[in-house]
Structure 1
């Protein structure tokens, strides 16, 4: 775990906080932004960067979700419920984003012999454990069967998942991304994904095994810690821990050099979605 801790200890951390403004732009822009940061951080043009983002009601699908046999029926249901949807470029399956879900991205340069994939996951897990250490709750990293987007780095308390981690690697940059269900009902979010799969898969047999979702195994941090947390509360904890890990923590935006890169990567994300979602 020490090597994971080393990842967090950077000389400088630039923080791009879009936790408030993110409600006003599409989540596709977020994935274009993280690709941009992977490229610039990986090339050594920018320091390690942490980004926070919150989006209005959006379902982020995995590539496997785009292959569901009755996908159009599932997407129609999401539309009825007032959700936007997109296919992301990192691994995993469908997750829910809304005003109560905080997304954090840590973008590292892949120097030396490269960053082992588990080391990236462990770095994010350590960060979250430190952020909530004062609650004296055991935050575990293991697959929570019955959750949406299950994986070996589901973060849970007492068997209930509140976060999932994914990774994106591009041009010697590594983006470790996490969604944190901060407020609201984790089980209600899970019900939406359960119904989506019910409609998009139907009774057809599929080669890929989609999760059989049990909404009772998912919760928000507010529910698990029995306290009224806000996105701002969690952002403050995030910044406090990050500040301890570096000599220089500063707020920033995309640089003049990164803006043209962003347009290029954003266009690619849009093209990718059209390819996967237009039948």
Structure 2
């Protein structure tokens, strides 16, 4: 029997559910939230935190994506398909978010004392546990022709359904995962395949952008033959963190956390204005 990672077994979890806030909830706010929570958890003001979030028809770009030779045309393509584009402050490349994609952030303390792989391994352990009644085939390794490929891609039988990133702020770390729950993983991948084809064309670039094969990506429902909804997975997560800790406290940002959030949100806005200013 696989042992759960110690990081996902604190004595108490804080739970923040922003998965049903709708299209008005900006992805920029999400990344500012995780920064503020990382600072709070790192300072010992907050326990380990689980935050859920959903964003509608958004492509979250990495910094290298904003440097594509024809990024303006590529972003115009995304807009023509009904997607907005923003640039995130954590690592990685472009990912697709929509109503069928549930994002989970686990915010852990003591990042300065922990190896960066601990945060990734903890998230892998959590997701394997989360769906252990449905499958024991979830693996973590790079799916090279997926979008935003990385060592901690999560897949079933070689098809990726989730990707993990991590951002460390002060003494806290936010480990973020997107979970393709419903819909077509290959259609999401095709959107980004065209984005890179339009944005790069035949130009030689110093950065190696992914050569996406849509067939290597799928949603959980496609892989499991299930009828899970985002709300179902949300309930699973809440149940799981209660089982792991025994105490779950729903609590919004307050006091100093709100100040940190506002400051980080302004930084995210400025980052996006700078990165995408040439597209205006």
- Smaller-chain TM-score range? over 0.9
> In structure 1, what is the Cα distance between the partners aligned to 2:115 and 2:244?
20
Alpha-carbon distance, 1:256 to partner: 2.5
* Matched residues, number: 277
Matches within 5 A, 1:1-279: 5-110=5-110, 114-279=113-278
> In structure 1, what is the Cα distance between the partners aligned to 2:215 and 2:139?
17
CA contact (8 A) 1:187 1:215 kept: yes
Corresponding residue SS for 2:205: coil
Alpha-carbon distance, 1:257 to partner: 2.4
TM-score by length of 2: 0.96
User: What's the RMSD between the two structures over aligned residues?
Assistant: 1.3
Corresponding residue SS for 1:133: coil
Alpha-carbon distance, 1:238 to partner: 0.9
Corresponding residue SS for 2:144: coil
Corresponding residue SS for 2:23: helix
TM-score by length of 1: 0.96
- Using the TM superposition, name which of 23-32 and 148-157 deviates more: 23-32
Unaligned runs of 5+ in 1: none
Corresponding residue SS for 1:227: coil
> In structure 2, what is the Cα distance between the partners aligned to 1:161 and 1:178?
12
Unaligned runs of 5+ in 2: none
> In structure 2, what is the Cα distance between the partners aligned to 1:211 and 1:186?
16
Runs of 4+ off more than 6 Å: none
CA contact (8 A) 1:74 1:197 kept: yes
> In structure 2, what is the Cα distance between the partners aligned to 1:24 and 1:183?
21
> In structure 2, what is the Cα distance between the partners aligned to 1:225 and 1:247?
29
- Cα deviation 1:102-161 (Å, max 9, x = unaligned): 0000001116x6121111101000110011111133100000121000001000001000
Alpha-carbon distance, 1:22 to partner: 4.6
> In structure 2, what is the Cα distance between the partners aligned to 1:69 and 1:122?
35
